[in-house]
Structure 1
């Protein structure tokens, strides 16, 4: 599967406030596009537009799968500070729930293995309500690995993570790119921005 995603002259306005305008860029399978900018510049909103969750004021997102038009919501996966895991479910149960929602099968053993990969370990059997903010962020990363859409939209993926967690995110992104995933990464971290083949800078 080869994915091509083009951001074509996107603008977004909230009432009288113009958040950003005339944003154009492209990313394809095996590439990473970094989105940078100050807090409030619209990074999260742009990712939600790309995911098909927010409508742009002008412009469009063109996503093709093997040169045929593709539905944004079917081929993208978004993790962001706005997305919460279910506190009444364990880490493993959260992974199974989200994968089932996206029509993918994931066994308890596979979910447990993903918990180990992102550094949650045996806490995957604990309720997410008991998790620290860093552990919840790691769980979100496990979920997107489990769903494994061809386009990953990562909004501040290192948020609330310690040094080991940031290294894990770097390795996760590098591994996904090697697997021909297309990644769009919104970040305030200078080092993370360097992961991108190209960059959008919002002001």
Structure 2
């Protein structure tokens, strides 16, 4: 298990980590979710040993890593830009951690081919990396990370450069291998969909502060603030409350609303209305025809989540 204990870090007057504590279990991905500048990449670098915390501890299976050099921490990283060596083929790129530890060429290549088979690249082992697709390059980087025999896998937005369909496949494969190798993995992302899809736990960061940490289900059911709800990609958020889209529907028993916008996607009609009591709301309508101005929207007020700073109440 990876554990962060009261991690603090400043760059001059800028706070990038303020008393951050959470754990990452073996065999699952823990997502660090936040906007640009929230401190998530710096946190990853502190786990890797590339940046030292001002105070607090990074622990692995109970052992404190703070005084251990990066090359001795048994940490592997995957990056957005793959970081492959162009003069080496796929097999030798994957085998690089083994060669750097002094393993002979033939044994390193044999082990690399076994892991390349796990990521579906053994048939491309002798190809130059420049000829690979983005997904193939990322799988080469994943094989290289696993061949480092890490105790922790760090993922620094590694899927963001891939197209949508390919991104889904590589995400799924990475999650499967994290479970198979029983590694704690830390994923830095600004994408709430990616965090909820891949992670068993999400740590939400903003301005170097840990706003909330829990399972995707826990966070979506009860975000503790409007900022957390927005970072999770929730619609229907203001400073007082959040209304899940599942808590509203176009219905003849609802209130008459002003139609602000409407478009169709694969799931149905994405509708935005102005509700007389709840203000602007986004909801999904699965009917055959588009709703018109004056449509009625029913809101299940009891399912509204009121934030701690707001007075708990029910609107009509």
Q: TM-score range by the shorter chain?
A: 0.7 to 0.9
1:107 is displaced (CA, Å) by 3.6
Which residue is equivalent to 1:124? 125
Shift of 1:121: 5.3
- Whichever structure has more strand as a proportion of its residues is 2
CA distance in structure 2 between the partners assigned to 1:48 and 1:167 by the alignment: 26
Partner of 2:79: 80
Compute the displacement of 1:199 (Å): 1.7
When Rg is computed on C-alpha atoms for both structures, the one with the higher figure is 2
Partners in 2 of 1:158 and 1:104 — Cα distance? 30
Q: Which one of the candidate residues 52, 55, 73 is aligned to 1:55?
A: 52
Distance 1:61 1:69, change over 3 A: closer
8 Å contact from structure 2 (residues 31, 203) kept in 1: yes
Q: Secondary structure at the match of 1:39?
A: coil
Residue 104 and residue 121 in structure 1: after superposition, are their counterparts in 2 closer, same or farther (change >3 A)?
same
Counterpart among 188, 200, 203 of residue 203 in structure 2: 200
CA distance, structure 2, for counterparts of residue 19 and residue 83 of structure 1: 25
Q: What secondary structure, in the 3-state scheme, does the structure 1 residue paired with 2:45 have?
A: helix
Larger relative contact order (CA 8 Å, sep ≥ 6): 1
**TM-score for the superposition, normalised by structure 1:** 0.81
Q: CA deviation at 1:128?
A: 2.6
Superposed CA deviations along residues 121-176 of structure 1, whole A, max 9, x for unmatched, are 54432323444544432221121122231211111131322323432322322332
- How far apart are residue 198 of structure 1 and its match? 2.1
Residues 80 and 161 in structure 2, CA contact (< 8 A), matched pair in contact too: no
Closer, same or farther: CA 102–17 of 1 in aligned 2, 3 Å:
farther
C-alpha RMSD over aligned residues:
2.7
Structure 1 or 2: more helix by fraction: 1
Whether the aligned pair in 2 keeps the contact of 1:137 and 1:159 (CA below 8 Å) is: no
Gaps of 5+ in 1: none
Residue 11 of structure 2, aligned match among 11, 14, 17: 14
- Conservation of the 8 A alpha-carbon contact between 1:29 and 1:150: no
Taking the TM superposition and a 5 Å limit, the aligned residue runs for 1:129-168 are 129-162=130-163, 163-168=165-170
Query: How far apart are the structure 1 equivalents of 2:97 and 2:205?
Result: 31
The alpha carbon displacement at 1:87 in A equals 1.3
Runs of 4+ in 1 over 3 A off after TM superposition: 67-73, 102-107, 112-124, 129-135
Structure 1 residue 93, shift from structure 2 partner:
1.1
Query: Contact 2:139 / 2:170 at 8 angstroms: preserved in 1?
Result: no
SS at match of 1:22: strand
Q: Partner of 2:173 in structure 1?
A: 171
What does the per-residue CA deviation read over 1:58-78, in whole Å, with 9 as the maximum and x for residues that have no partner? 3221223xx555657433211
Equivalences, count: 198
Q: Secondary structure at the match of 2:77?
A: strand
CA distance, structure 2, for counterparts of residue 114 and residue 31 of structure 1: 19
**So what's the TM-score if we normalise by structure 2?**
0.55
